[in-house]
Amino acid sequence: MRRLFPVAFLIVLTICTPAFAQSAEVALRLDEKFFDALLEAIFKNSGAPEFPLSVNRSENPDGNGSVNGPVPEPGLCTESIKLQREVDGVATAVRFRDGQIQAPIAFSGNYNPPFVGCLDFSGVAQTSIELEFDKEKQSLIGRAKVREVNLSGAGGIGSGLLARMVQSSIDRKINPINILQMERVSFTVPIQNAGSLRMKATGIRHEITPGALNVYVMYEFGKD
């Protein structure tokens, strides 16, 4: 990414009008192929993300993670959910449709309801992502909202309850999604025999188009 900054700098100097403009806007396009490659790399190199179901008995009701009961031993029913690359032919992905960000999330897990024993389940959570600018953190963030959960593998036992637990867990563990911080896209460009030029990010806006997310970063130029 750092290698791209000097290139972006030259592009900005080329498109700025008038020639000595003190600000400019740079566009970053993130398409569906980029997110497909990113998700593939995450599952291949980092492993499937896993977290407890929202009603895990090893947590207090307030969700602070304090243990008030025995922690399941390895190999036993962990009452957790694990994100998967694909389930029932539906892959975890990010899609841009009709001005919205749609994100089907494939998952598997297990649950230990009373008097039944450990149940394995899997399914797909149909999720939408809403973007907003966090002024306090000076970041573009996303918030995932689970709209629908389609379960399989639970044998019909407690499927309604499982769906609510899965939705609550995904909502609670994934959000917020940090997409772009203005501090991280501000930088200094050295200029030979002339010191350096500071490019400070001062604003971010976004646009959802068919198949892609366009992020626009406003820069101000100044001597470093």
Report the alpha-carbon distance of residue 112 to residue 103 in Å, rounded: 28
Peptide bond into 176 cis (omega under 30): yes
Predicted local confidence at residue 76, as pLDDT: 76
Predicted local confidence at residue 168, as pLDDT: 86
Q: Domain ranges in the chain?
A: 4-29+182-223, 32-179
Predicted local confidence at residue 197, as pLDDT: 87
CA Rg value for the chain = 22
- C-alpha dihedral, 32 to 37 to 179 to 209, nearest 10°: -10
Predicted local confidence at residue 58, as pLDDT: 45
Predicted local confidence at residue 45, as pLDDT: 94
Q: What is the mean pLDDT of each run of 10 residues along the chain (224 residues)?
A: 45 43 88 96 91 61 38 67 94 96 94 84 92 92 90 65 82 87 89 84 94 95 82
Predicted local confidence at residue 218, as pLDDT: 94
